[in-house]
Structure 1
Amino acid sequence: MKTFYYAISAIAISACIITGCSRKKDKFLSRNYHALTTEYNALYNGYIALEQGRQNLNNAYSDNYWDILPIERMEINEEIILPGQSKNEDFNRSEEKAVKAIQKHSMNIDGKEKNPQMDEAYLLLGKARYFDQRFIPALEAFNYILYKYPASDKINQAKIWREKTNIRLENDELAIENLKRLLKQEDITGQDLADATSILAQAYINTKVLDTAITLLETASYATKNNEERGRYRFIQGQLYNKLSYKDSANMAFDRVIALNRKTPRIYMINAHLEKVKNFDYEKGDTIALWEFLTELEEDRENRPFLDKIYHQIGQFHLEREADSLAIAYYNKSLRVPSQDKQLKAKNYQILGDMNFDSSVYKLAGAYYDSTLLNLKLNSKPYRTIKRKRDNLEDVIYYEQIAQVNDSVLKLVNFSEEDKLAYFENFVAILKKQAEDEKAKQEAAERNRDAGLEIGGVNLGNSSQISAATRGPGAPSQAALFYFYNPTTVAYGKNEFVKTWGNRRLEDNWRWSNKNTSELSNPDVLNSAVAERETVNEYFDPQFYISKIPSTEKEIDSISKERNYAYYQLGLIYKEKFKEYNRSKNKFEALLKSNPEDRLVLPSKYNLYKIYELLGENSEAEIAKKDIIKNYPDSRYATILTNPDFVSEKDENSPESIYETVYAQYENQEYAQVIRESETHIRVFDGDPIVPKFELLKATAIGRLYGYEPYSEAINQVAVTYANVPEGQQAQHIVNQVLTRIKSTELVEDEAVEAHYKVIFQFEKATQSVIQDFNTVLNEVLLNIKYYDLKTSIDVYNPDTVFVVIHGLKNKTVAKTFDQLLIKEDKKKIKKPYFAISSKNYQTIQIHKNLETYLGTTNN
């Protein structure tokens, strides 16, 4: 009976509670039940998910210390997501909890919210959307709090978060206005003050008002109780002072970061130290004390995660002191440290590239610039700058390599026989020493492998365990360690084998003495073995290398011409592209001392004159000027020097002006004249940068006049000959992309093509005046045709044939019976026969010059 009574009582009490906790009743029990359930269930779990998501964001975010840090550590993802999707599951879960709290526990009775936790729920909803980077929905949530709960104790937080969202939406001016009003009207303290002033500082940073941002960050750093935030705010203050060139104030701000020591993340302290080092005055400061400090930073075990930055700064220290070898060593050490800072890697590679460029090691400089590009954001301004420099370096590398190789060959040519022999005997001795050393290393490696020797826990008897991971970054690869991958050691080994064992067939029991005798008895095998032995021996024979030195006058002259042209191109590149006038001067002077071709002498002397002027070497410039005027009085350079005002006007004899004239002829369809003029100017301006332009123009004119096959041959020649200049690259693009599309000579049926047709009047070997008169009459006649907007053009077909073309017809039958459109009087004026053709087929016959094929078909 008692049990039954208790059960009934429990059910009754539960029913009372359930019915009493309705969201529609404004009762004490209902308000507190829903408030407690909201706070300690939905909101509690929602904030846990939000905090976990924020932590993940912070862990994934990497600050860029090369620029002013943002106030808030959050990376903006440009990825577009569909409605209903989320970028982060934690924030999605937090939003779901907030929505659940609103849907199940909101007590909106008579237009008023009776659950005091609802403002907190909407605040959580806005924060979850904000961190999920859905800023418009987040703004809606914050605005709803301001509209629905004006008396909420969270109202200031809602206003601050709304302005944070506005800043993310790039509404900086609006955020500044609202935050200034908030700080003026409300008495804000504590973390709310820190949040408001810091986010206002961010708005001022975005609008480039840096001094105001510094003041606000000072307030924020004192108001916040979070030492991580304090360290960040003070570090940003230092960066802003540096941006304004107030180095002393910046150092004071960085000192305050350093003073926080372990209270704030160590990365702020390390970067504060490094920023102070960047501000060091190398002329007045104590460099010894600075070096000791940098060494202390490097040796501190706690700084190991930041060695990439520390090594880079030590490299900068040595570079400032002109200790280039030490600087290079530390830049390389910085690169060998695993680092997520791509901009740091890019700076290291760029500095090493610049240093190699300054040392004329162009090939290595190019490799460093390639690595720089891999660590820069594609198509960013720094990327485009380095890309342009790398592209310009391509020509330098190409011509410097030619100059270096040919200089070496010509130097050997001028050696006496005794000097050649001594040089290559020394070279062969070095080769033998290298081969012996490599052989000794390989034998030692073989012995270790046979003995199963373990190094660092790796059994060398098991080659599969030897990997790049066990070798380390500076060790040679397996390919470099493998004996047979080195041709020098292979050649040496073959030679030693033949000396020791003679010529042996590859078979079992090859060591038996009778194997050597039997093999020598076979003439074919003997001849093969002797040939192989001679091939091996020649690598260690000085006479083999001496025999490779060019000896005929034709070969030597060819090498000399190629070297001289490389010098000329290098002089131009250094002068025009890199503004390296001293290097350019050296190249031109070396060229003039090398007995160059006549075509290179005058432009080299004129370029030297201009360089002397730019370098302020007026006496040398005057000598060069007099030399040009005296020895080349009829040249355009002499004309320019004797009449300087002529340059300020239009120099009609300049390559650029002549090219413009020839190009105008091309546009006027004077293709034969363009080809003749281009050939003439290519000879005259040989060696000038304008030549590739003339070559490309000539190839295009050939295509217009003679068709596909001659054009294909000409454009291929340009692509091969001028591969390192823009015109050659454009020609290569035509070869790869255009020629394949226009290769087909197939003529299509008119019914199968689009409804665009032309009427063609064909003139064979007619004078220009005859063609022009006919075109004038035709244009007058076309004005009398109604319902059609017809136009004409004069198109060159080949050297003997010209077309007068009517455009604007969209019907095949009308095109074929064009004369029926004419009135009786006009028919008397236009008696010349014509044919109709589709636009597609007209393009084909112009490209491939197959008019006869078309006229032989049934189309007409």
Structure 2
Amino acid sequence: MKTSFKVISTLIFATFLIVSCSRKKDNFISRNYHAVTAEFNALYNGYNALEQGRSNLNESYFDDYWNVLPIERMQVTDEIMLPGESKNEDFSKAEDKAIKAVQKHSMDFGGKEKNPQIDEAYMLLGKARYFDQRFIPALEAFNYILYKYPASDKINQAKVWREKTNIRLENNELAIKNLKRLLFQEELKSQDLADATSILAQAYLNIKVVDSAVAQLEIAATATKSNEERGRYRFIQGQLYNELGYKDSANLAFDKVIELNRKTPRIYMISAHLEKVKNFDYEQGNKLEVSELLAELEENRENRPFLDKIYHQIGAYHLRNNSDSLAVAYYNKSLRTRSKDKILNARNYEILGDMNFDKSLYREAGMYYDSTMTSLNQDSKPYRIIKRKRDNLADVIYYEAIAQVNDSILHLVNLPEADKVAFFETFIEKLKQKAEEEKEEQERQEALDRNKGLITGGGIQGRPLNTPGGAPSQGSLFYFYNPTTVAYGKNEFVKIWGDRAQEDNWRWSNKSSSGAGNSNSGSEDILAAATEEELYDPQFYLSKIPSEEKEIDSISKERNYAYYQLGLIYKEKFKEFSLAKVKFQDLLKSNPEERLVLPSKYNLYKIYEALGENDEANIAKSEIIKNYPESRYATILSNPELASQFDEESPERLYERLYEQFENQEYDIVISKSEEYINSFDGESIVPKFELLKATASGRLYGYEAYQKAINYLAVTYANTEEGQQAQHLQTNILPKLASKDFVEESNDTSGNFKVIFKFENLETEAVLNFQKTLDEVLKNIKYYELTSSIDVYNASTKFVVVHGFKNGQVASTFDQLLTKEDKKKIKEPYFAMASANYQIVQVHKNLDAYLNVDNN
């Protein structure tokens, strides 16, 4: 009986408690129950999820210290999320908890919220959406607090977060207006003041008002309770002072960051030190003090994660002090740290490239520029600048490689037999030594792998050879699943075969890695194709030396042409007159073809003048005038006052006149004249331009096949010129689109572009022009249509007079019905209509007869 009474009493009390805690009753117990439950259940878990998400966001965010840091560490992406999706599960969880708190614990009576935790729930909701980069929904949550809870203790926070969201939505002016009003009207708590002024500073930065941003950051750095924020704000202050040119003020700001020491993330302190070094006055400053500071930063074990930046700055310091060798050493040290900072890596490579460029080591500079581009975004301006530098070096690298290889071959050709044998015996000794070292390295690697359990039971990578069914034993790893052995295999492949594309017949010699500067590809192919016995036999290598006069002569000509091109490039593009002089002099000593002699001597004369070597210039001038009196060079040198008139016959002026003829559709003349000028100016940089013009004219006159053949010749013969690269682009991307000869069905053509064509064969140009003139007069009388005409060459004997502007094929085919009776008497020639798409095919493939045989008209 006593037990039953206790049970009944408990049930009655529990029922009373549940009924009392209903959201629909406005009493003390209900209000406090739902407030406590919301705060210590849904909101507690929600804020934990929010902080976890923010922590992950900060860890994944990579600050760009090469530019002014943003106030808030948050990477905004352009990724579009579908409804219900989230960029971060933690923020999604925080949002769910906030919604749950509102749904289960809100107590709204007469439009007034009785649960004091619901405004906190909406704050959590807005923050979760903000960090999840759903700024419009976040703005709604913050605005709801301002509308629904004007007396909330979170009202100022809500205003600050609303303006943070406005800034993310690029409403900077609105955010500045609202924040200034907030700061004027309210007495904010320290952290709220710091938050308001810091984001106000960000808004000013966004609209490029730097001085106002600095002032607000000063307030924020003083007011914030977080040393992490204080360190960031002070560092940004220093960056902004540097931007404004106030180095002393910047250094004071950086000193305040350094004073925080371990109270703030170490990256801020290290970066502050390095920024101060960048501001160092190399003329009047104490270099010893800076040198000791950099040495201390380098040696401090706590700074190991930041050695990439420290080494880079030490390199910059030595470079400014003209200690180039030390600078190179430290830039390479920075690269060897495998830094995740791509901009830092790009700058290291670029500086090393520039240093090699300044030393006229263009091939090495090109390699560094290649590495620079791999660390840059292809759509960025720095990438385009480096690419332009690299493209300018392409020809130098290409011709230097040819000159180097062919010089080596010709040197071997001219050696006595005994010296050839001695040379290759020395080479074979080096091969044996290298093979021994690689064998030792392989054995060492296998021993390491065996210790790791990667090689067991005599099989490969832990796979016993006699395992039933070929199944791997427990704990074994297949070769290609192990990154160490895969990397080793890749390195061995590159050592033997070079960098080969993944394609059929990859072992063929002409499949070796393309690109200028691969001067060793020929020797690598010989080694790769040699048997074990041949590899160490001097006679094998002696048999590979060219012996036929024709082959040797071809190598010599190729080398001489490379010398000539290098001389021109060094002289014209890089103004390296000393290097250009050496190349032209070496060329003239090498028994060059006659076509290269006179241009080389004239270029040498101009180089002597540029270098102030007047005696050599006078000798070269006299020789040209005496030995080549009929040449244009002699005319220029003997009559300087006629030089400007003679420029009318310069290659550039001839090209301009020929291009004008091309635009006038005089394609047959362009083709014949181009061939004449190509032969006349052979070896000069203008030749590829004539080749491209000739190819285009051939395509216009003879069609697709002639164009394809000419473009292919240009792409192969002049691969390293701008025109050759343009031809390669046409060959790869444009020609395949023009290859189809299939006509479109004109009855289904919806392009709304048709033409009327009058065909004239073997008719004088004057007669065609007269017809066009008459046609233009007739077209003016046609109402409702804006029609124009043009004369297009079809082939050597056929011209078209084309009427443009028809939007309908039926109207085009009944063109004569648009004419008045008087105009019909003027235009009696037959015509046919054609869709513009088909007209293009006819002009490209010269297949008009095939079109007319199709029932299109």
TM-score between the two structures when normalised by the length of structure 1: 0.81
Q: Who is 1:509 aligned against?
A: none
Q: Who is 1:764 aligned against?
A: 761
Query: How far apart, in 2, do the equivalents of 1:699 and 1:34 lie?
Result: 84
Query: How far apart, in 2, do the equivalents of 1:622 and 1:165 lie?
Result: 75
Are 2:796 and 1:799 equivalent residues in the alignment?
yes
Cα deviation, residue 287, structure 1: 4.6
Structure 2 counterpart of 1:117, one-letter code: Q
Are 2:388 and 1:388 equivalent residues in the alignment?
yes
Give the number of the structure whose alpha-carbon radius of gyration is greater.
1
- Partner of 2:794: helix, strand, or coil? strand
- Partner of 2:74: helix, strand, or coil? coil
Structure 2 counterpart of 1:98, one-letter code: A
Instruction: Answer whether contact 1:712 1:735 (CA < 8 A) is retained.
Output: yes
Residue correspondence of structure 1 range 420-431 to structure 2 within 5 A? 421-422=418-419, 424=420, 426-431=422-427
CA RMSD in angstroms comes to: 4.4
Q: Who is 1:159 aligned against?
A: 159
Q: Who is 1:569 aligned against?
A: 565
Could you say if the C-alpha distance between residues 636 and 137 of structure 1 is closer, same or farther in structure 2, counting changes exceeding 3 Å?
A: farther
Query: How far apart, in 2, do the equivalents of 1:268 and 1:398 lie?
Result: 45
Q: Who is 1:217 aligned against?
A: 217
Q: Who is 2:687 aligned against?
A: 691
Residue correspondence of structure 1 range 400-799 to structure 2 within 5 A? 400-409=400-409, 417=416, 421-422=418-419, 424=420, 426-438=422-434, 440-441=436-437, 464=461, 477=488, 535=534, 538-539=537-538, 548=545, 552=549, 558-574=554-570, 577-578=573-574, 583-584=579-580, 587=583, 635=632, 652-653=648-649, 655-746=651-742, 758-782=755-779, 791-799=788-796
Could you say if the C-alpha distance between residues 464 and 365 of structure 1 is closer, same or farther in structure 2, counting changes exceeding 3 Å?
A: farther
Cα deviation, residue 412, structure 1: 5.6
Query: How far apart, in 1, do the equivalents of 2:422 and 2:294 lie?
Result: 45
Query: How far apart, in 2, do the equivalents of 1:485 and 1:595 lie?
Result: 37
Instruction: Answer whether contact 1:432 1:540 (CA < 8 A) is retained.
Output: no
- Partner of 2:800: helix, strand, or coil? strand
Structure 2 counterpart of 1:45, one-letter code: N
Instruction: Answer whether contact 2:143 2:162 (CA < 8 A) is retained.
Output: yes
| Greater displacement, 96-105 / 391-400 | 96-105
Query: How far apart, in 2, do the equivalents of 1:715 and 1:451 lie?
Result: 55
Query: How far apart, in 2, do the equivalents of 1:14 and 1:817 lie?
Result: 95
Cα deviation, residue 373, structure 1: 1.6
Query: How far apart, in 2, do the equivalents of 1:859 and 1:216 lie?
Result: 75
Gaps in structure 1 of 5+ consecutive residues? 488-530
Cα deviation, residue 782, structure 1: 5.0
Query: How far apart, in 2, do the equivalents of 1:127 and 1:450 lie?
Result: 55
Could you say if the C-alpha distance between residues 781 and 410 of structure 1 is closer, same or farther in structure 2, counting changes exceeding 3 Å?
A: same
Q: Who is 2:69 aligned against?
A: 69
Instruction: Answer whether contact 1:366 1:390 (CA < 8 A) is retained.
Output: yes
- Partner of 1:741: helix, strand, or coil? helix
Could you say if the C-alpha distance between residues 192 and 749 of structure 1 is closer, same or farther in structure 2, counting changes exceeding 3 Å?
A: closer
Instruction: Answer whether contact 1:468 1:477 (CA < 8 A) is retained.
Output: no
- Partner of 1:398: helix, strand, or coil? helix
Gaps in structure 2 of 5+ consecutive residues? 463-476, 499-529
| Greater displacement, 67-76 / 426-435 | 426-435
Cα deviation, residue 221, structure 1: 2.6
| Greater displacement, 679-688 / 343-352 | 679-688
Instruction: Answer whether contact 1:431 1:540 (CA < 8 A) is retained.
Output: no
Q: Who is 1:339 aligned against?
A: 339
Cα deviation, residue 47, structure 1: 1.3
Query: How far apart, in 2, do the equivalents of 1:197 and 1:449 lie?
Result: 59
Could you say if the C-alpha distance between residues 30 and 608 of structure 1 is closer, same or farther in structure 2, counting changes exceeding 3 Å?
A: farther
Query: How far apart, in 2, do the equivalents of 1:239 and 1:469 lie?
Result: 47
Query: How far apart, in 2, do the equivalents of 1:239 and 1:752 lie?
Result: 64
Deviations, residues 393-436 of structure 1 (Å, cap 9, x unaligned): 222211121233344455566x674xx744x4553343233234
Cα deviation, residue 379, structure 1: 1.0
Could you say if the C-alpha distance between residues 421 and 171 of structure 1 is closer, same or farther in structure 2, counting changes exceeding 3 Å?
A: farther
Query: How far apart, in 2, do the equivalents of 1:13 and 1:698 lie?
Result: 102
Query: How far apart, in 2, do the equivalents of 1:808 and 1:289 lie?
Result: 78
Q: Who is 2:176 aligned against?
A: 176
Structure 1 counterpart of 2:230, one-letter code: R
Cα deviation, residue 454, structure 1: 7.1
Could you say if the C-alpha distance between residues 786 and 618 of structure 1 is closer, same or farther in structure 2, counting changes exceeding 3 Å?
A: same
Are 2:85 and 1:88 equivalent residues in the alignment?
no
- Partner of 2:64: helix, strand, or coil? coil
Deviations, residues 740-783 of structure 1 (Å, cap 9, x unaligned): 33334456776576686655443332211222223333444555
Residue correspondence of structure 1 range 368-387 to structure 2 within 5 A? 368-387=368-387
Q: Who is 2:508 aligned against?
A: none
| Greater displacement, 13-22 / 306-315 | 13-22
Query: How far apart, in 1, do the equivalents of 2:835 and 2:619 lie?
Result: 66
Could you say if the C-alpha distance between residues 436 and 192 of structure 1 is closer, same or farther in structure 2, counting changes exceeding 3 Å?
A: same
Residue correspondence of structure 1 range 249-328 to structure 2 within 5 A? 249-285=249-285, 287=287, 290-328=290-328
Query: How far apart, in 1, do the equivalents of 2:255 and 2:481 lie?
Result: 40
Query: How far apart, in 1, do the equivalents of 2:771 and 2:425 lie?
Result: 84
Could you say if the C-alpha distance between residues 766 and 328 of structure 1 is closer, same or farther in structure 2, counting changes exceeding 3 Å?
A: same
Cα deviation, residue 253, structure 1: 3.0
Could you say if the C-alpha distance between residues 540 and 225 of structure 1 is closer, same or farther in structure 2, counting changes exceeding 3 Å?
A: farther
Q: Who is 1:508 aligned against?
A: none
Are 2:199 and 1:203 equivalent residues in the alignment?
no
Structure 1 counterpart of 2:181, one-letter code: R
Structure 2 counterpart of 1:772, one-letter code: L
Instruction: Answer whether contact 2:602 2:633 (CA < 8 A) is retained.
Output: no
- Partner of 1:76: helix, strand, or coil? coil
Could you say if the C-alpha distance between residues 76 and 680 of structure 1 is closer, same or farther in structure 2, counting changes exceeding 3 Å?
A: same
| Greater displacement, 176-185 / 774-783 | 774-783
Query: How far apart, in 1, do the equivalents of 2:847 and 2:455 lie?
Result: 74
Query: How far apart, in 2, do the equivalents of 1:436 and 1:579 lie?
Result: 45
Structure 2 counterpart of 1:46, one-letter code: G
| Greater displacement, 6-15 / 122-131 | 6-15
Cα deviation, residue 550, structure 1: 6.3
| Greater displacement, 327-336 / 631-640 | 631-640
Structure 2 counterpart of 1:351, one-letter code: I
Cα deviation, residue 179, structure 1: 2.6
Query: How far apart, in 2, do the equivalents of 1:112 and 1:435 lie?
Result: 90
Cα deviation, residue 157, structure 1: 1.7
Instruction: Answer whether contact 1:254 1:272 (CA < 8 A) is retained.
Output: yes
- Partner of 2:678: helix, strand, or coil? helix
| Greater displacement, 91-100 / 462-471 | 462-471
Query: How far apart, in 1, do the equivalents of 2:392 and 2:566 lie?
Result: 11
Residue correspondence of structure 1 range 5-16 to structure 2 within 5 A? 5-16=5-16
Cα deviation, residue 354, structure 1: 2.7
Structure 2 counterpart of 1:78, one-letter code: D
- Partner of 1:204: helix, strand, or coil? helix
Cα deviation, residue 251, structure 1: 3.3
Query: How far apart, in 2, do the equivalents of 1:822 and 1:746 lie?
Result: 33
Structure 2 counterpart of 1:743, one-letter code: A
Could you say if the C-alpha distance between residues 257 and 447 of structure 1 is closer, same or farther in structure 2, counting changes exceeding 3 Å?
A: closer
- Partner of 1:740: helix, strand, or coil? helix
Query: How far apart, in 2, do the equivalents of 1:606 and 1:207 lie?
Result: 57
Instruction: Answer whether contact 1:699 1:711 (CA < 8 A) is retained.
Output: yes
Q: Who is 1:130 aligned against?
A: 130
Query: How far apart, in 2, do the equivalents of 1:745 and 1:340 lie?
Result: 52
Query: How far apart, in 1, do the equivalents of 2:57 and 2:739 lie?
Result: 56
Cα deviation, residue 21, structure 1: 3.8
- Partner of 2:792: helix, strand, or coil? strand
Could you say if the C-alpha distance between residues 139 and 624 of structure 1 is closer, same or farther in structure 2, counting changes exceeding 3 Å?
A: farther
Structure 2 counterpart of 1:795, one-letter code: D
| Greater displacement, 588-597 / 341-350 | 588-597
Could you say if the C-alpha distance between residues 551 and 124 of structure 1 is closer, same or farther in structure 2, counting changes exceeding 3 Å?
A: same
| Greater displacement, 403-412 / 363-372 | 403-412
